[in-house]
Structure 1
Amino acid sequence: MSSAIVLDKSFKKASEIALPESYKGIKEHNLYLYVKSYLASLRANNAKAKKRGEVSGGGKKPWAQKGGGRARAGSITSPVFVGGGVAHGPSNDRNYELKINKKQKRLALEYAMKQKADTGKLYVVDSLSIASGKTKDANVVLKGIGERSVLLVAQSIQDEKTFLAYRNLQNCYFIEASEMNAYLVAAFHAVVIEKPVLEAFLDSGNKGK
């Protein structure tokens, strides 16, 4: 059974919190669809090249139709001229959005959590709060966990001191529960989550079934 590792204040394993048995039946494809949708939503879509109809000028034929020994040309906005329009260039009117329903989002997150639990990389702590607001104290937390990249999930980040303490640390990303998603859980080597957040997440899953 997949379980999250509960750490004590000295970052030693104190107990485990078992994930629901139903997580075993979740298909990996749900995570794939969510990650694809999430990355598509981040695309800036600002690449744009002018077509021949958008280039200024070109109201007059560059030379006579016949008699010059050259190929006929109707406008200098043609793609064959330097400074003319671009043929088959990028356009910023494309919509990259990929829709995914709420159930698939939930299944993707549950699968990502199960993956982390199966590899022993899902950790639970009572609190991630840093009362001093000092980065060196926040670094003690990361060193105690001992993972190369960590997603930190707190119930809330309204505590400015805690936010500032983690902000300048490399290889960690500090978010609140409402920001947690399958992509972030899957992207980091380990996930450290406050106990109330995990309990609320598991409860919400039970109510939805």
Structure 2
Amino acid sequence: MVNCVVKNWQGEHSGETTLEMPIAKVENAEHIVHRALVRQLHNQRQGTASTKTRAEVRGGGRKPWRQKGTGRARAGSIRSPLWRGGGVIFGPKPKDYNLKMNRKERRLALRTAFISRVEDLIVVENFADQLSAPKTKEVVAALTRWGVTSEQKVLLIVTDISSDNLYLSVRNLPNVKLLKHDCLNIYDILYADKIVATSEAITKIQEVYCGE
């Protein structure tokens, strides 16, 4: 169990919340998190790259010139891989890169990764009502008050992203990614320098990802 300080919109301490999640054993933690990360990156690949072999390229049915007597190298087709416009040797073909991983393992890996970032976790009160209009400047100022610098990559976790004010205020910030509590993934958790989550999101995360 980890106790986290909750900050308000002004960056002041306003309370505490607890974060308690079952995680992988120390000797297995790195391995299972790595497997989950590799799976996510592989499953993002479309696998649609494709080239044509000499059998699939149009043309080349006629022998360019006779076998002997011309002084040139023998050639049987203008679509040879040695020719410009010819087929491709060992080129890519459509492939399924998807990797499978059990649901329980995926959740265990995500919980383990999230707990490993506790030192970089900043818990704040729900601040959606603080934005009466889309104001990127106000979000930047709030992040600064919470201890986040402009160069750091931030993962912002909330329970509701339907608010236009919050979405429009964040979307122009290149280093800030907004996620809903039930859309967490290994890559974003590990990639961010700082993780900012509302106290409601922390509660929801434990409800969603701790159940089997």
Identify the TM-score tier after normalising by the shorter chain. 0.7 to 0.9
Deviates more, 1:19-28 or 1:30-39: 19-28
Give the C-alpha shift of residue 90 in structure 1. 2.3
* Whole-angstrom CA distance in 2 between matches of 1:134 and 1:195: 22
Give the C-alpha shift of residue 21 in structure 1. 6.5
Matched, 1:17 2:47: no
* 8 Å contact from structure 1 (residues 124, 192) kept in 2: yes
* 8 Å contact from structure 2 (residues 158, 179) kept in 1: yes
Give the C-alpha shift of residue 36 in structure 1. 0.8
Query: Which string of whole-angstrom CA distances, capped at 9 and with x for unpartnered residues, describes residues 59-114 of structure 1?
Result: 111111233344432211111222211111222x1111112221122112111111
SS at 1:192 equivalent: strand
Matched, 1:127 2:129: no
Q: Structure 1's 41 and 187: CA in aligned 2 closer, same or farther, altered over 3 A?
A: same
SS at 1:153 equivalent: strand
TM-score with structure 2 length normalisation? 0.86
Matched, 1:60 2:62: yes
TM-score with structure 1 length normalisation? 0.87
Q: Structure 1's 134 and 21: CA in aligned 2 closer, same or farther, altered over 3 A?
A: closer
* Whole-angstrom CA distance in 1 between matches of 2:211 and 2:60: 66
* 8 Å contact from structure 1 (residues 112, 182) kept in 2: yes
The answer for unaligned runs of 5 or more in structure 1 is: none
Q: Which residue number corresponds to residue 4 of structure 1?
A: 4
Q: Which residue number corresponds to residue 95 of structure 1?
A: 96
* Whole-angstrom CA distance in 2 between matches of 1:17 and 1:77: 68
Q: Which residue number corresponds to residue 182 of structure 2?
A: 178
Matching residue's letter, 1:131? S
* Aligned residue among 49, 52, 57 for 1:50: 52
Matched, 1:193 2:192: no
* 8 Å contact from structure 2 (residues 21, 210) kept in 1: no
Q: Structure 1's 141 and 151: CA in aligned 2 closer, same or farther, altered over 3 A?
A: same
* Whole-angstrom CA distance in 1 between matches of 2:62 and 2:24: 70
Deviates more, 1:195-204 or 1:55-64: 195-204
Matching residue's letter, 2:60? G
Computed over aligned residues only, the root mean square deviation of the Cα atoms, in angstroms, reads: 2.1
- Count of residue pairs brought into register by the alignment: 205
Give the C-alpha shift of residue 4 in structure 1. 3.3
Deviates more, 1:153-162 or 1:169-178: 169-178
The answer for unaligned runs of 5 or more in structure 2 is: none
